[in-house]
């Protein structure tokens, strides 16, 4: 019985990750009951992002500026380049504030199953950034999945002729991980990469 | 490191019920990566609801029309009036499509603790709707809480001089409810209101 406009808003919200039809309905009611404090601020924020939305021509990040905030930040170490599969990975690593360098987003991973080939990813952009010089280390921060690791190996081959250090993220026990609950693959990685007790 | 615009959108989304800061960030990224299929539709839907948002002068529902869709629907039985605490209750009952009558939203419940008095609720509107005639039955569909039931009793007193049948929702076992897991209050209600086996 809700009006068409309300139905459309509910459906648009329900498509967001983390919201289902039920919580979308609650969210719509929340917005409608709080026009000044919730609906209008959300509307204005969406308008601004929509106006300024751009994909960074350098690294492939999405931001409201191009070059993106990361690429434009002079305090970041341009000699360190971290390659990730998706924008969400860039955001996750950036949030941790542990990586002081720049990023490069591939836009996916090689996948025979899904028919994703090297030319479908932003690998040419990566190679030309490395070829341009000024990069000392490339961190291949692919996911610890079969496809992520295949992609990392492929990139390592593509970049091996350049004078850069290639590294990858350590694999092993996650913080708080209990041996009893971890999969065999993780245990095998952790054992293989075991280190002397300091 | 996210831009101010992205930060503002994240915060506006994070204030929605059902979304926290983490899922709001995922939602923002989802929107930014899908401008045409997600961001723009959500923006347009919000604009339309914002333009047309109104509180129904008759029943207190929020909708994009005034009178609201429920009050304007000629197929609904105006002799049946269901009184609820909040707009969310109206939406919940309306969704069930089990109630063929009209609604009245109080905008809260009487509460000594929170200092909510009868004049703080839309009780005058209810009384004048009943006094205007044409209503045969008033369903007091308050929550099964102490404050909800106090409110129902108060309304019953206010309406007892009018020639209307006053009813309230049945209390008892919820569908699928297991005795072992139900609180004593519900069990007591279910026992007290027990009925002969058909």
Q: Shortest CA distance to A114 belongs to which of A77, A146, A68, A92?
A: A146
Residue ranges, CATH 3.40.1360.10, chain A: 75-168
Q: Do B49 and A70 touch (CB under 8 A)?
A: no
Can you tell me the ipTM of this complex?
Answer: 0.80
Q: Are A106 and A128 in contact (CB under 8 A)?
A: no
**Which DSSP string do the residues of chain A spell out, in sequence order?**
---HHHHHHHHHHHTSTT--HHHHHHHHHHHHH-IIIIIHHHHHHHHHHHHH-EE-TTT--EESSSS-HHHH-TTSEEEEEEEESSHHHHHHHHHHT---EEEEE-SS--BTTTTB-GGGTTHHHHHHHHHTS---EEEE---SSHHHHHHHHHHHHHHTTSS-EEEE---SPPTT--GGGS-HHHHHHHHHT-----
Residue ranges, CATH 3.40.1360.10, chain B: 76-168
Closest-CA residue in chain B for A21?
B18
Residues of B in contact with A54 (CB under 8 A): none
Contact of B21 with chain A, judged by CB distance below 8 Å, is answered with no
Q: Give me A100's structure tokens.
A: 């002081």
Residues 6+ apart with CB under 8 A from B24: B10, B11, B13, B14, B16
B85-96 confidence digits (pLDDT tens): 999 999 988 887
The mean pLDDT value for A100-107 works out to 95
The mean pLDDT value for B47-52 works out to 95
Residue ranges, CATH 1.10.8.420, chain A: 4-52
Longest CA–CA separation in chain B, Å: 67
Q: Give me A186's structure tokens.
A: 């993780």
Predicted local distance difference test score (pLDDT) of residue B2: 74
Q: Give me A16's structure tokens.
A: 């967001």
Burial class (CB in 10 A: 0-12, 13-18, 19+), B11: middle
Cα(B70)–Cα(B65) distance, integer angstroms: 10
Please check the confidence at residue B162 and state whether its pLDDT lies above 70.
yes
Predicted local distance difference test score (pLDDT) of residue B178: 82
Residues 6+ apart with CB under 8 A from A153: none
Task: Quote the minimal CA–CA distance from A163 to chain B in Å.
Answer: 30
Q: Shortest CA distance to B54 belongs to which of B42, B40, B68?
A: B68
Q: Shortest CA distance to B1 belongs to which of A57, A65, A107?
A: A65
Quickly state the pLDDT bin for B1 (edges 50, 70, 90).
Answer: low
Closest-CA residue in chain A for B38?
A12
Is A75-168 in CATH node 3.40.1360.10? Answer: yes
Contact of B18 with chain A, judged by CB distance below 8 Å, is answered with yes
Contact of A92 with chain B, judged by CB distance below 8 Å, is answered with no
Q: Do B50 and A38 touch (CB under 8 A)?
A: no
Contact of A144 with chain B, judged by CB distance below 8 Å, is answered with no
Please give the CATH number for the structural domain made up of B76-168: 3.40.1360.10
**A4-52: CATH superfamily:** RecR Domain 1 (1.10.8.420)
Q: Do B43 and A43 touch (CB under 8 A)?
A: yes
Find which of B12, B28, B36 to mutate to test the A interface (most A CBs within 10 Å of its CB).
B12
Mean pLDDT of all residues in chain A? Answer: 92
Q: Which of A47-51, A110-114, A142-146, B159-163 has the lowest mean pLDDT?
A: A142-146
Cα(B93)–Cα(B84) distance, integer angstroms: 9
Residues of B in contact with A30 (CB under 8 A): 16-17
Q: Do B25 and A91 touch (CB under 8 A)?
A: yes
Q: Are B191 and B179 in contact (CB under 8 A)?
A: no
Task: Quote the minimal CA–CA distance from B166 to chain A in Å.
Answer: 26
CA torsion through residues A159, A160, A166, A168, sign: positive
What torsion, rounded to 10 degrees, do the Cα atoms B77, B78, B84, B87 define? 90
Closest-CA residue in chain B for A39?
B50
> Crossing angle of helices A123-131/A146-159, nearest 10°?
40
Please check the confidence at residue A72 and state whether its pLDDT lies above 90.
yes
């Amino acid at each position: 019985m809700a009006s068409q406009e309300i139905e459309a808003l509910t459906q648009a919200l329900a498509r967001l990750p983390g919201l289902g039809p039920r919580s979308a309905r609650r969210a719509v009611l929340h917005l409608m009951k709080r026009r000044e404090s919730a609906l209008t601020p959300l509307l204005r924020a969406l308008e601004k992002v929509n106006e300024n939305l751009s994909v960074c021509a350098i690294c492939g990040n999405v931001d409201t500026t191009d070059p993106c905030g990361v690429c434009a930040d002079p305090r970041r170490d341009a000699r360190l380049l971290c390659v990730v599969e998706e924008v969400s990975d860039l955001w996750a690593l950036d949030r941790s504030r542990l990586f002081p360098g720049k990023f490069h987003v591939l836009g996916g991973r090689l996948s025979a199953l899904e028919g994703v080939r090297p030319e479908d990813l932003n690998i040419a952009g990566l190679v030309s950034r490395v070829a341009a010089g000024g990069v000392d280390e490339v961190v291949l921060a692919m996911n610890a999945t079969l496809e992520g690791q295949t992609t990392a190996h492929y990139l390592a081959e593509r970049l091996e002729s350049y004078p850069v250090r290639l590294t990858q993220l350590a694999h092993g026990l996650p913080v708080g991980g209990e041996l009893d609950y971890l999969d065999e693959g993780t245990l095998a990685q952790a054992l293989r990469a075991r280190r002397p007790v300091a």
